[in-house]
């Protein structure tokens, strides 16, 4: 491997294993529920055995929060984790000065990494515009910086542009939830320079074993399919790392029904309804049924209806997931 900057070395050292994307819990009156957030972080670390936390992202409803609320959320997660596992704080914003402020704040509170969604523009931006935005933002602090190549911003970074951005001093990784061809092309080009990750639990074991991907980055499935008494993703990953490939694949194959439920509730139903909204209400309802209440969603999202909550509970009960919830 070629000589790496300190940020890139840090990423290859720390970004390993299972990273969870977490929601932001809100109280009935709409504030960040700080007690629930702290308790949840402890649950992810001690109960589920995750290797890292991605906070304040899309599943964290960052787009509904003020700058002050986002900074407070980051402080709470970093402070509660207290060095037990690394934390990545999401700093992306359509207002550059706010993204820059969050990047500097991440350095002040000791976050291990920052990550930013592709910058928003009224139309698809040119590569020059995006390149300049990242050059400026990554210079705001010395915290190792992850790209987040999601189409939520209305476009995707090409492998060519990712290769250019990987040369920036603090750019140390990318969460690249793209089709397999794109993902593997990015890994082929820059996988020795920055950490390349995907968010698909279903693809994780193959990417890890066949292509050397170091981390699953980052998915709420770690809390949706698992409880402290039932940790199949954790267990099949550990089996693979210990060399028991047959055991790892056998356990990985048992999660087909959970993945189909994920597709139904987190993709198919809301797409079919044409809502055009990320199903965070469904995520929070699912976690609540799993013994991890996260409060309500913020407008313009709406809470899950009672009849849908009943249907979701029936689905999870049929999967046996509710049997493993601690009393």
Give the tens place of pLDDT for each residue, 94-119: 999 999 999 999 999 999 999 999 99
Cis omega before residue 218 (within 30°)? yes
Is residue 270 pLDDT above 70, yes or no?
no
Q: What pLDDT is attached to residue 153?
A: 87
Nearest residue to 278 (alpha-carbon basis) of 19, 18, 23, 20: 23
Q: What pLDDT is attached to residue 327?
A: 45
Better-scored residue on pLDDT, 277 or 54: 54
Do 216 and 198 form a contact (C-beta atoms < 8 A)?
yes
Structure tokens given for 84: 């037990």
| Local confidence band at 278 (pLDDT 50, 70, 90 cut-offs) | confident
Percentage of the chain exceeding pLDDT 90: 89
Distance CA 172, CA 165 (A): 10
End-to-end CA distance of the chain: 49
Distance CA 233, CA 226 (A): 8
CATH architecture of 6-254: Alpha-Beta Barrel (3.20)
Average pLDDT in the chain? 94
Q: Where are the alpha helices (DSSP H) in the chain?
A: 6-14, 34-42, 67-81, 96-109, 127-138, 159-165, 180-190, 201-211, 221-224, 232-241, 245-252, 256-263, 269-272, 280-289, 306-319
Distance CA 72, CA 66 (A): 10
Is residue 319 pLDDT above 80, yes or no?
yes
Structure tokens given for 99: 């993204």
Cis omega before residue 203 (within 30°)? no
Is residue 89 pLDDT above 90, yes or no?
yes
Q: What pLDDT is attached to residue 56?
A: 97
| Local confidence band at 321 (pLDDT 50, 70, 90 cut-offs) | very high
pLDDT digits (tens, 9 = 90+) for 208-256: 999 999 999 999 999 999 999 999 999 999 999 999 999 999 999 999 9
Q: What pLDDT is attached to residue 211?
A: 98
Is residue 277 pLDDT above 70, yes or no?
no
Is residue 40 pLDDT above 70, yes or no?
yes
Is residue 325 pLDDT above 80, yes or no?
no
Query: Region 306-326: what's the mean pLDDT?
Result: 90
Query: Region 300-325: what's the mean pLDDT?
Result: 92
CA torsion sign, 315 to 316 to 320 to 323? negative
Distance CA 109, CA 71 (A): 10
Task: Kindly compute the dihedral angle of the four CA atoms of residues 276, 281, 287, 291, in this order, to the nearest 10 degrees.
Answer: -170
Is residue 275 pLDDT above 60, yes or no?
no
């Amino acid at each position: 491997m070629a000589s790496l900057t300190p940020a890139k070395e840090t990423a290859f050292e720390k970004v390993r294993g299972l990273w969870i994307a977490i929601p932001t819990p809100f109280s009935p009156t709409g504030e960040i529920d700080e007690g629930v957030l702290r308790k949840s972080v402890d649950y992810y670390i001690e109960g589920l055995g995750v290797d890292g936390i991605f906070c304040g992202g899309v599943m964290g409803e960052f787009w509904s929060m003020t700058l002050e609320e986002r900074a407070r959320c980051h402080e709470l997660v970093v402070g509660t984790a207290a060095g037990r596992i690394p934390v990545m704080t999401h700093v992306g914003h359509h207002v550059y000065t706010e993204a820059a402020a969050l990047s500097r704040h991440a350095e002040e509170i000791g976050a291990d990494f920052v990550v930013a969604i592709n910058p928003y523009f009224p139309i698809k931006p040119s590569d020059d515009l995006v390149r300049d935005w990242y050059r400026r933002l990554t210079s705001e602090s010395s915290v190792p910086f992850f790209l987040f190549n999601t189409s939520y911003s209305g476009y995707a970074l090409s492998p060519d542009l990712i290769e250019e951005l990987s040369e920036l001093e603090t750019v140390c990784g990318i969460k690249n939830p793209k089709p397999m061809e794109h993902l593997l092309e990015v890994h082929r080009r820059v996988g020795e320079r920055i950490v390349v990750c995907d968010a698909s639990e279903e693809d994780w074991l193959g990417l890890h074993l066949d292509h050397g991907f170091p981390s699953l980055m980052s998915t709420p499935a770690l809390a949706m399919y698992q409880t402290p008494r039932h940790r199949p993703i954790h267990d099949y990953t550990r089996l693979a790392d210990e060399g028991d490939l047959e055991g790892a694949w056998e356990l990985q194959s048992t999660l087909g029904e959970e993945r189909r439920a994920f597709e139904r509730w987190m993709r198919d139903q809301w797409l079919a309804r044409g809502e055009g909204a990320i199903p965070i209400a469904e995520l929070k309802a699912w976690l609540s049924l799993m013994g991890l209440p996260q409060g309500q969603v913020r407008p313009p999202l709406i809470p899950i209806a009672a009849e849908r909550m009943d249907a979701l509970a029936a689905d999870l009960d049929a999967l046996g997931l509710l049997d493993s919830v601690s009393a």
